[in-house]
Amino acid sequence: MLKKEGIVHFWDLSNNYVILNPKLKNKLMKEFIKIVKTRYNANKILKIPRSALSSYINKNKPRIKTSEEKLTYPGKKQVYRIYDKYGMFKEDILSLEDESPSSNSEGLLIPIMKNGEMVVNLPNIDEIQDFYLNNIKRLPESYKKLEDTQIFNLKISKKLQDLTNILKLKYS
């Protein structure tokens, strides 16, 4: 049975495979077809698992998982550490990756691996020690106590909270 779902034309083969026409104009489809052609050494019409197509098309769509006990925030994220005027840790903000940080902050999440390759040089033991000691100096005294402890402040950005609320309403 020939079907049309959005931009993808396919022949339904017992719901397990799709056949794509490589002449589709959509940029995402062209990129996907190029990858599949390389992987499966195909030239004209491609037969591939439907799950591969679905996961590729949906890879950049934000998703949310909810349960009574926990919540997974959607989208690609970054954690920004905010500093006070003395350079001490003030709070961390969980935000979407594309949000602009404030001027007195730094992103804490950095890429380590990309396409199976390491993209940073690992620090030596002296660099690790210096990083640790510098961070301990910048941690306010109230967080270093063993008694009457405080929890370090983590805020959720407005944009991330709005996206979370929209998806919760959509899937609840």
- pLDDT grade, residue 5 (50/70/90)? very low
Summarised one tens digit per residue, pLDDT across range 71-114 is 888 889 999 999 999 999 999 999 999 898 888 999 999 989 98
- How far apart CA 96 and CA 23 sit, in angstroms, is 35
Which amino acid would we find at residue 89?
F
Residues in the chain: 172
Q: What is the pLDDT of residues 17-67, one digit of tens each?
A: 455 555 554 555 566 666 655 655 555 445 555 555 555 556 667 778 777
Tell me the C-alpha to C-alpha distance, in Å, between residue 93 and each of 32, 66, 120.
34, 21, 24
CATH number at residue 111: 3.20.140.10
Name the residue range of residue 123's domain. Answer: 65-171
- Number of helices (H), then strands (E), belonging to the chain: the values are 4, 12
- Model pTM above 0.75: no
State how many domains the chain has.
Answer: 2
Ramachandran bin of 65, using left for φ above 0, alpha for ψ from -120 to 50, beta for the remaining angles: beta
Cα separation, 157 vs 39, in Å, equals 40
Are 40 and 116 found together in one domain? Answer: no
Phi then psi dihedrals of residue 142, to 5 deg: -60, -20
Q: Are residues 137 and 92 in the same domain?
A: yes
